[in-house]
Chains A and B, each alone.
Chain A
Amino acid sequence: MDAHRGRLLRLCRLLLRDPEEAADVVQDVFTKAYDAQVQSRTPGDWAAWLTRVAVNACHDRRRAGWWRRFRFASDRIEDIPVAAVDPSPVDRALGEETRRRIWVAFRALPSRQREVFALRYIEDLSTAEVAAVLGLHPGSVKRHLFRAIRHLREALGGAP
């Protein structure tokens, strides 16, 4: 389970934006996993099960807490990300402005496109796996992915 913790935390942060809320969701996911194990409802593929539960939990959070997030958007100093002490070669090559544009473009995507892109390119799931996690038809996943790629490339100054 610990092996999945970092992965789920990263995924939930991408889908939710607020790190604290993402940590809460991951905690809830592991609580559900524990309950499932106690009740002998052990899924065949823990990774897929955890991902599916996490994505659904993020979906519920987004739907329920939009006003709270809007009203109490955090400005605390501890929430400001600290720059990496030793950036990787890729980070050095990309530059701050490009990274900012990527994040802005990603946040501007509709939630479904964001989910599809994150699962496909960051979680490295296949189209069929993404479809299974999100409960969508594979054709829909591909269309969402197409739109997400197009928007991200447009935002980065590339041809759609």
Chain B
Amino acid sequence: MSRCLTDRAMTRVLAELGTAEERAHLAVCAACAARHRRREGEMAEIAHVLAATPEPRARTARAATPWIAVAATATAVAAGVWLSIETGTRVETPPVRDPRIARALADITTALFSVDGEPRGPVAALEPDAMHETGCEAAARVAGIYCADAAVGLDEGTGALDVGIGGPAAAGEDGRGEGA
């Protein structure tokens, strides 16, 4: 065998897996024999380090622990979400049957979630006319929802909402109520 041994062949010889040809080449090629001796020296160095020097403290083992915990938690959460989607176990809110409550919810939705003065989604379909009323009208209507017999009016002096108990008849002609 005239060609010098590759690195892989050299490692094979070191592990006693070399062929007879490779071993014969080592016996006649000074360059390959020198490489072989150098590798044997490296193995001896490694063996010396392992046998005679203390093992350095592992620097990454502890640092990896929190990441393992975070990864495990994230995996568990993802699995839970996937499972809930797969099994269809969603939280269903029952439909609102009482029209007064539905209107109240619509007003709240309008006030809280509208970005341009218009309600969003199914709220818009509830009562189109109600969406264009003034703030005072809406307030009066909301008060009427919670107390059907309430007389609703605005105090002219303060502009504050004045709600009287006793039904529409109890309110004065000017809408101020009994106390006005």
> Hey, which chain A residues are within 8 Å of B16, CB to CB?
127, 142, 145
- Whether the pair A146, B17 counts as a contact (CB closer than 8 A) is yes
- Chain B contact-residue range equals 20 to 34
Bound-complex Cα distance A121 to B39 (A): 13
> Hey, which chain A residues are within 8 Å of B135, CB to CB?
none
A102-B46, A142-B16, A158-B42 given; A150·B11 CB < 8 A = yes
A81-B57, A149-B11, A160-B8 given; A121·B17 CB < 8 A = no
- Whether the pair A106, B50 counts as a contact (CB closer than 8 A) is yes
- Judge if A1 is at the interface, Cβ distance under 8 Å: no
Which residue in A82, A102, A153, A156 is a CB contact (below 8 Å) of B50?
A102
How many contacts A-B (CB < 8 Å)? 81
Which residue in A14, A73, A118, A153 is a CB contact (below 8 Å) of B62?
A73
> Hey, which chain B residues are within 8 Å of A99, CB to CB?
49, 53, 56
Mark each residue of chain A from 71 to 88: 1 if its CB lies under 8 Å from any CB of chain B, else 0: 001010001111110001
- Chain A contact-residue range equals 35 or more
- Whether the pair A153, B11 counts as a contact (CB closer than 8 A) is yes
Mark each residue of chain B from 55 to 75: 1 if its CB lies under 8 Å from any CB of chain A, else 0: 111100110000000000000
- Whether the pair A102, B49 counts as a contact (CB closer than 8 A) is yes
- Judge if A53 is at the interface, Cβ distance under 8 Å: no
**Closest-CB distance, A105 to chain B (whole angstroms):** 8
Which chain B residues in 28-59 approach chain A with CB under 8 Å? 39, 42-58
A94-B49, A149-B14 given; A159·B7 CB < 8 A = yes
List the A residue with the shortest CB-CB distance to B44: A121
List the B residue with the shortest CB-CB distance to A88: B52
Bound-complex Cα distance A152 to B61 (A): 20
- Judge if A90 is at the interface, Cβ distance under 8 Å: yes
What are 25 contact pairs spanning A and B, CB under 8 A? A10-B51, A14-B50, A17-B55, A73-B58, A81-B55, A82-B54, A84-B53, A88-B52, A90-B45, A91-B53, A94-B45, A99-B53, A99-B56, A107-B58, A118-B50, A121-B46, A122-B47, A142-B16, A142-B17, A143-B15, A146-B12, A150-B8, A153-B39, A153-B42, A160-B7
A interface residue numbers (CB < 8 A to B): 10, 13-14, 17, 73, 75, 79-84, 88, 90-91, 94, 96, 98-100, 102-103, 106-107, 118, 121-122, 127, 142-143, 145-146, 149-150, 152-153, 156, 158-160
B interface residue numbers (CB < 8 A to A): 7-8, 11-12, 14-17, 39, 42-58, 61-62
